[in-house]
Amino acid sequence: MSAPEPVIGPAPVQGTGFAGRQMVWRALQPWLLLMPVLVFVSVLFILPLLGILRLSFVGPDGLTLEAYVALFSDPFYLRILGRTLTASLFVTFFCLLLGYPIAYAAARYGGSLGTTLLLIVTMSFWTSFLARTYAWMVILGSQGLIANLGRMFGLESPQMLFTGMAANIGMIHIVLPFMVLSLFAVMQRIDPNLLRASTSLGATPFQTFLRVFLPLSVPGMINGCALVYIVCLGFYVTPELLGGPQDQMIARLIGSQIEQLLDWREAATMAAVLLAVTLIIFAVYDYFFGLDRLWRS
């Protein structure tokens, strides 16, 4: 009588439980590392934001758009919103106009010149923006530097403090470093061999700049403009101290609704609209360029 044939099957895997626990641990590690950040952002940002949205959408009779309808039918609010958008655009344009030559000189020539320029630009981050705003109040005041220089040459200096121009100057000074650093990060990665090749093919320095360097620096221009514009939308202290009542922006209006009128619902509605404008800008940027490029500049 022959012995029964052995059953051939998969050999038992040793340590399967340990390997499984290792896989689970590896999958959980990123989330455990992110847990403090997630808790911080959720408690201090997401939950208050949800509270603001709830305050703007929920009325005595439940969910309603009454606050938004009233807001967008108010010409005063629309005027403030339009002023905020146009002032931010004005500041962004002049930051690009002033920041491009600085970044170009720092990236192209480097050395002590580039180091000095970047040091001057980044020194702004070492000083409180409130202190810089007060400094502009002194400079633009009736007894300030500009007024005294005008008197030295027999000129009567116009009123500059507490005007829209003064507020724009202060905002340009505060956000200019964002533009310069965004441009510099892109410009320093432009291959110098491309510029030499253009010159060797007979292009003048201006043609080389216009047809080679400028197009390659466009990503830095876009990144800088996006950052500066979004930051300008939320400016509060600088326009309040340097500008006049006729130049207030939406952040100041939100503060007035809370501090003076105690109208939390209207303030929450304005904040939600400002948030929506910011998210629309981010969405447009992401659609055309990708948000990852904003952080790689």
What gap in Å lies between CA 199 and CA 83, rounded to an integer?
Answer: 45
pLDDT recorded at residue 295: 54
One pLDDT digit (tens) per residue for the chain, 297 residues = 455 555 454 555 444 566 777 888 888 888 888 898 989 988 988 999 999 999 988 877 778 888 899 889 999 999 999 999 999 999 999 999 999 999 999 998 878 888 898 888 888 888 888 888 888 988 888 787 887 777 777 777 777 888 888 999 999 999 999 999 999 999 999 999 999 999 898 899 899 999 999 999 999 999 999 999 999 998 988 888 898 878 889 998 998 888 888 889 999 999 999 999 999 988 888 888 776 665 555
Instruction: For Cα atoms 16, 22, 26, give the angle at the middle one, nearest 5 degrees.
Output: 145
Q: What is the pTM of this model?
A: 0.83
DSSP 210: I
Burial 63-99 (b: 16+ CB within 10 A, else e): eeeebeeebeeeeebeebbebbbebbebbbebbbeeb
What gap in Å lies between CA 77 and CA 258, rounded to an integer?
Answer: 15
| Residue 68 near residue 56 (C-beta atoms within 8 A) | yes
What gap in Å lies between CA 278 and CA 255, rounded to an integer?
Answer: 18
pLDDT recorded at residue 15: 47
Break the chain into its structural domains and give their ranges.
Answer: 31-64, 67-296
pLDDT recorded at residue 179: 95
pLDDT recorded at residue 294: 56
- Model pLDDT for residues 105-158, shown as the tens digit of each residue: 999 887 888 889 888 888 888 888 888 888 898 888 878 788 777 777 777 777
Topology given in CATH for the domain delimited by 67-296: MetI-like fold (1.10.3720)
pLDDT recorded at residue 84: 94
58 φ, ψ (degrees, to nearest 5): -100, 125
pLDDT recorded at residue 13: 47
